[in-house]
Amino acid sequence: MEALGLDSPWLNKQDKQDTQNKAACGTAAASKEIHPPMSEIYISTDVESDGPIPGPHSMLSFGSAAYTADKQLLSTFSANLHTLPGAEPDPRTAAWWKTQPEAWAACRTDLQDPAHAMKNYVGWLKGLPARPVFVAYPAGFDFLFIYWYLMRFAGESPFSHSALDVKSFAMAMLRLDYRDSTKRAMPRRWFDKLPHTHVALDDAIEQGALFCNMLAENRAGAPGTTPADTTPARTTPPRTPPPGTPR
């Protein structure tokens, strides 16, 4: 039987409307299949501090970059913070900061009250179009500060108490021991040409791109990377991180 077009004289007005509605529904369904709604957004975050733990020491600056799984950078958030009352810099960390004058200057401008910044941060996270997942390298350091500051100054954590550690993800993909799963062991193809400056937002963006590249390769069904087929990402030693921040 020949299909009837919308301009067929055999279709009355209601038939034409029903046909158009069905076509529209079919298009919407197909669109959903091709572009499924996001279930989560990856919040790559970097923290700069003046010591190894919050409370006795302060978070000086933090930056977050919100990425989709396909590496779309949706939004960013960053803030430089006043130090905590009664807190003191760790001597070793203070000595390290003296070797990074540009990064130090960048994190000591336009200072905000921690309560104001963390409440704004919660608002930013809640305004994103999917649930936020905290991502860091190493998550054990950065999430420690962010979670403490969120609970202390905003009274809640949109991340709950969970964080995704890039180094642990690399361990699984590289099939190496955890201590060996450093950036120097990662293949060059995982790294975009982005700066690592110890300015929180710069490093968060760089780290987020790294994670998304790893995620894409993992989801593509790649068998993983073993030491034999890894081209080292670095040919020179990386910058020394602040004391108390294992990388």
Mean pLDDT of the chain: 84
Q: Are 227 and 177 in contact (CB under 8 A)?
A: no
State pLDDT tens for residues 12-26: 444 444 444 444 444
Residue 221's pLDDT is what?
82
Residue 38's pLDDT is what?
78
User: Is the confidence at residue 73, as pLDDT, over 80?
Assistant: yes
CATH assignment of 40-229, given 3.30.200.20, 3.30.70.600, 3.30.420.10, 1.10.10.10? 3.30.420.10
State pLDDT tens for residues 36-58: 577 999 999 999 999 999 999 99
Q: Decide: pTM greater than 0.75.
A: yes
User: Is the confidence at residue 215, as pLDDT, over 60?
Assistant: yes
Q: What is the mean pLDDT of residues 161-167?
A: 97
Residue 168's pLDDT is what?
98
Domain segments of the chain as ranges? 40-229
State pLDDT tens for residues 90-119: 999 999 999 999 999 999 999 999 999 999
Q: What is the DSSP track for 81-129?
A: EPPPTT----HHHHHHHTT-HHHHHHHTSSEE-HHHHHHHHHHHHHTSS
Cβ within 8 Å of residue 112, ≥6 positions away: 79, 80, 81, 82
Bridge partner list, 73: 67
> For the packed helices 139-153 and 166-174, what is the interaxial angle rounded to 10 degrees?
150
Q: What is the mean pLDDT of residues 61-70?
A: 98
Q: What is the mean pLDDT of residues 162-180?
A: 97
Residue 244: pLDDT band (50, 70, 90) is low
Q: What is the mean pLDDT of residues 198-207?
A: 98
Residue 16's pLDDT is what?
43
